[in-house]
Structure 1
Amino acid sequence: MVADRYRGTLPGRLRLARLACVLLTAGLPVLLVVAAAGASTTWDETAGRDAPRTISATRLNLALNDMDAQSANILLSSGDSGMGKGRLEESYAKANGFYRDAQETISRSLRALAAASEGDPATEATVVGLTDDFAHYQELVGRALENDSRPASKDAAREDYRSATDLLSDRLLPEARRLVDANNAVYERQYAAARGDLDLQRTTEAVLGVLLVAALVLLQIYLARRFHRVFNPGLIAATLCAVVAVVCSAQLFTVTHDRMKVARRDSFDSVIALSRSKAIGYDANADESRYLLDPDRRTTYERSFLDKSHQLYGIVGARLDTYDAKLGESWSAYRRDHND
């Protein structure tokens, strides 16, 4: 009844029109504040948690492959360490340096992942398992290096290294890859949710903006007819301000939307892909050292090397003895025509 009374009089109708415009006007800044707070939270979570967790996992995967390759290189370049004969001093020193660097990277990554996984039981369990397996792996490598320092103990060192690399391939690397996938999936869910919220907010902003401009225009027409005035300067100014505010708000939503996409799809996805490719390349490099170090497993390491080569650059029908030639042909064709 009160609404009917307001609509029944001119002052009442003007008050209702003013209330509608005020509510629509207030809704826009409130929506912008909510959207800005949501975007800020998303960026903070991405920069402080999601991206670092995923990057730590990719570094762990990469360093594990590098550490095993350097272990093989140490054993290859040491000669008969117990007899002090045949050591390749430069290669031996470099391999030891790279080994320690990879060891430190793994330790830092595990600490970072342990801190970041608090409250996530599945990830915590994976990190704990990785830490335990890494300790066992270091024990096996340490035993191999200790045996290698004794006279005529190369076979024993080789056997310990074989156990270490089996542990790496059977448990450590699969766990590290699962950790990369799990953290990347969490980031992907956060990204999808943030983009969904932003899409909804952008649509709501467009609806509110159109309603506000329409209300101001209709009020201008109503006043012009009712009071026989062609223009109302205040309403014209308010309408122009509303149009500018709506356009700027839409631009802000669009820029935020695009930057989220760039950060995730155009930047972070390529980092993950490159890190995975690099880890595969390091593992393939380790297969070359393992091939030289362990003659009894040469067939296995040949097959493993070819498989990793195909993961990096698959060539249909290429075998180990034809892969290089086919790779050269494929790359030459690509250079002639980048659309091929």
Structure 2
Amino acid sequence: MLPPPRIVIGSRPWILGGWALPTVVRRPATPDLYRLVAAALIVLGVGLGATALATVHHRTALTRDITGVSGPLSVSAQDLYRSLSDADATAATAFLTSGAEPAALRQRYLDDIARASAALTVAARDADDADTARLAVLTDQLPVYTGLVETARSYNRLGIPLGGAYLREASALMRTTLLPRAQDLFESAQRRLSGAQRDAAGFPWAVLLLGLCTVAALVAAQVLLARRTHRIFNLGLVAASLVALVALVWPALALSAAAHRVDAGRGTGSALVSVLADARRAALQARADEALTLIARGSGAAFETDYRTAMRDLTGLLGAAAARAPESDREVILQARDHASRWDRLHGELRRLDDRGDYLAAVGRATATGPADPPAVFGALDAAISRALATANDRVDRQAGHGRRALTGLEAALLLGTAGLVAAVLLGLRPRIGEYR
């Protein structure tokens, strides 16, 4: 009777019943083992270098996008919305004056339209397909809006009441078409900016894990050589281990530092920008509603309701911004909140004049140019919010720039380090392999 078939793995037989398996698996010879070890170490080293290099290159590109594309696009969208909304409010305020409007208001309106046109040009440079469609609507409808305003202005100069209807139609076009598109453009830019910041602030887990695997493999290879050759140190593998440690620690620290900088720009920069931009939008809407309520002459209850809603939003948003802002920014935001409260009190006085039938006195108060009158107080409010926005936008750009500088020179160092690691592995194992020829 034939004995059961068996497989020999190393020096230990394994008996299998039923089928004869003639293949015999043996341990690899020592030179072949060293070649496998060398190949594995080279693959890990090249993988570590390539992963770190790709991560650094991607993070550098993201920080460059923040400072050169998505950040400026967000600022342009803010300027666009502010210019359009201020133009609408200024046109409404200027309309309240009989005949020729004050030169200062006329110039402010023209400056707003010019700034809006310039912001459209800047935004179109870096817009994606969806933003391009929004910009096309803005570009097409802005001349329609200005045409309606000029028609209203002409009738107003002639003393024809029809001018009010044209101005309300212009304001409706601004509120239902132009401003929503501008707001969508800003929100799209903010999403793009936040996405770049989020990706740039992520922890480099792939670099860390692959680096630890590479270092562990190098240590294991040295232990193997020490047992087989009775040599405590292999200078080539020791050098490769040092290079691997540098390739692990330096990118990890640099990427973490860059991520911290970008994340700081997100928390106290772009997130604060969103709140402040909404606050300025509410303030500008309330200013336009104040003027439109007077223009309606007794039938502006809807505009007054919108004013109240906008003021509630403004107060809440400024409070949220003050709570989120760093200490250095908080003072100017609290000043803006104080200006909003003063303006709201003056608006109440204006409404009391109009409600009791003293329309001319209410119009005179709404268009007065004194430092304590509503236009000046609103100007102080708008200036305070604009200063806070400028500081927050600058912080986004500055922190992203610090993050990019933390990665300076790292790509070239990784290329040299990877080449050095591969060379050190070959120099460490090639003599040991040659001993068996």
TM-score, normalised via structure 1 length: 0.77
Aligned to 2:244: 242
Contact 2:88 2:288 in 1 (8 A): yes
Structure 2 equivalent of residue 79 of structure 1: 98
Which runs of structure 2 are paired with 1:137-148 in the superposition (5 Å)?
A: 137-148=145-156
1:273 aligns with 2:279: no
1:185 aligned partner: 191
Matched, 1:99 2:99: no
> Corresponding residue for 2:119?
109
Deviation at 1:190, TM superposition (A): 4.9
Structure 2 residue aligned with 1:17: 37
Matched, 1:34 2:54: yes
Q: What do residues 179-222 of structure 1 show as CA deviations (whole Å, max 9, x unaligned)?
A: 22233334445555x359x55xx222122211221122112222
* Inter-partner Cα distance in structure 2 for 1:6 and 1:19: 20
CA distance in 1 between partners of 2:261 and 2:292 (Å): 45
2:155 and 2:217 map into 1 onto residues whose CA distance is: 86
Against the structure 1 CA distance between its residues 181 and 224, is the aligned structure 2 distance closer, same or farther, given a 3 Å change threshold? same
C-alpha distance in structure 1 between counterparts of 2:232 and 2:134, whole Å: 73
TM-score normalized by the length of structure 2: 0.61
CA distance in 1, matches of 2:60, 2:226: 44
The equivalent of 2:157 in structure 1 is 149
Query: For residues 291 and 206 of structure 1, do their structure 2 counterparts lie closer, same or farther at Cα, with a shift above 3 Å needed?
Result: same
- 1:233 is displaced (CA, Å) by 4.1
Change (3 A) 1:167 1:56: same
For 2:89 and 2:61, the matched residues in 1 are separated by 41
SS at match of 1:296: coil
How do 1:201-220 residues align onto structure 2 when only pairs under 5 Å count?
Answer: 202-220=204-222
In structure 2, the gaps of 5 or more residues are 1-23, 318-340, 346-437
Q: Deviations over 1:129-151 (max 9, x none)?
A: 2222221111111112122222x
CA RMSD of the aligned region, Å?
Answer: 2.9
Match of 1:228? Answer: 230
Matched-pair contact (CA < 8 Å) for 1:73–1:289: yes
Letter of the 2:145 counterpart: Y
Instruction: State the distance in 1 between where 2:185 and 2:68 align.
Output: 18
Aligned partners of 2:172 and 2:233: how far apart in 1? 84
Instruction: Tell me the CA shift for residue 307 of structure 1.
Output: 0.2
Q: Is the 8 A contact 1:62 1:276 kept in 2?
A: no
CA pair 170-184 structure 1, distance change in 2 beyond 3 A: same
Q: 1:305 deviation in Å?
A: 1.0
Structure 2 contact 59–200 (Cα < 8 Å) conserved: no
CA deviations over 1:109-158 (Å, ceiling 9, x no partner): 2223334336x1x43332222222221111111112122222x33x2332
CA drift at 1:30: 1.6
Counterparts of 2:136 and 2:148 in 1: how far apart (Å)? Answer: 19
Deviations for 1:18-46, whole angstroms, at most 9, x for unmatched residues?
22222222222222221222223323333
CA shift in 2, pair 1:7/1:240, >3 Å: farther
Question: In structure 2, what is the Cα distance between the partners aligned to 1:117 and 1:205?
Answer: 33
Counterpart AA for 2:82 = L
Give the conservation status (yes or no) of the 8 Å contact 2:190–2:270: no
**What stretches of structure 1 of length at least 5 have no aligned partner?**
82-86, 325-340
Opposite residue 62 of structure 1, the aligned amino acid is: R
Q: What is the rounded CA distance, in whole Å, between the counterparts of 1:60 and 1:300 in structure 2?
A: 26
Distance 1:5 1:12 in 2: 15
* Map of 2:353 onto structure 1: none
TM-superposed CA distance for 1:165, in Å, is 1.3
CA separation in 2, counterparts of 1:184 and 1:258?
Answer: 19
Q: Any idea what SS the aligned residue of 2:232 has?
A: coil
Normalized per residue, which structure has more helix? Answer: 1
Q: CA deviation at 1:6?
A: 11
Q: 2:144 aligns with which of 123, 136, 146?
A: 136
Query: Residue by residue, what CA displacement relative to the aligned partner does 1:243-280 show, whole Å, maximum 9, x if unpaired?
Result: 23311121122223333333444322222321221121
User: Contact 1:5 / 1:12 at 8 angstroms: preserved in 2?
Assistant: no
In structure 2, do the counterparts of structure 1 residues 195 and 43 end up closer, same or farther at CA, with 3 Å as the change threshold?
Answer: closer
- What amino acid does structure 2 have at the position aligned with 1:135? P
Q: Does 1:53 align with 2:55?
A: no
Q: Percent identity?
A: 27
Equivalents in 1 of 2:212, 2:99: separation in Å? 82
Aligned length: 297
My pick for the range that moved more, 53-62 or 301-310, is 53-62
Cα distance, 1:7 vs. partner?
5.8
Selected match of 2:261 from 231, 256, 259:
259
Quote the Cα distance in structure 2 between the aligned partners of 1:163 and 1:126: 21
User: Could you tell me how far apart the structure 1 residues matched to 2:46 and 2:281 are?
Assistant: 53
